[in-house]
Amino acid sequence: MIPPRQTNIEDKERRFYVCAPSSAYLALQQEAIQRGTDLWTLGGSVLVSWMNAGCPDFAPAQESDSIPAPSPSSSVADE
């Protein structure tokens, strides 16, 4: 038997793994430290902000292997 749908579902925080280049991991970890949070919380905030924005496409990555640091005014985590 299929259980009925629930109306009040608790939206629990969950951790899950994502794959990214080591340089991206390091950059996110350093940004988290500068913001006084942890990598998991900052990464989740970035993903939620991206989803709330409608999952927009970004310009293709440049040829460089390094990840440019965003300017403080363009950070989505501050919103």
Residue 67 included in any domain: no
In whole angstroms, give the CA distance from residue 42 to residue 38: 6
The confidence score (pLDDT) of residue 66 equals: 58
Residue 10 included in any domain: no
| pLDDT-derived band at 21, boundaries 50, 70, 90 | very high
Residue 77 included in any domain: no
Q: How large a percentage of the chain has pLDDT more than 70? A: 76
Select the more confidently predicted residue: 31 or 63. Answer: 31
Residue 66 included in any domain: no
In whole angstroms, give the CA distance from residue 76 to residue 79: 6
| pLDDT tens per residue across span 38-61 | 999 999 999 999 999 999 998 776
Residue 35 included in any domain: yes
Q: Look up residue 34 and give its two tokens.
A: 């500068």
| 25: containing domain | 20-50
Its pTM stands at: 0.61
Residue 41 included in any domain: yes
Name the domain count of the chain.
1
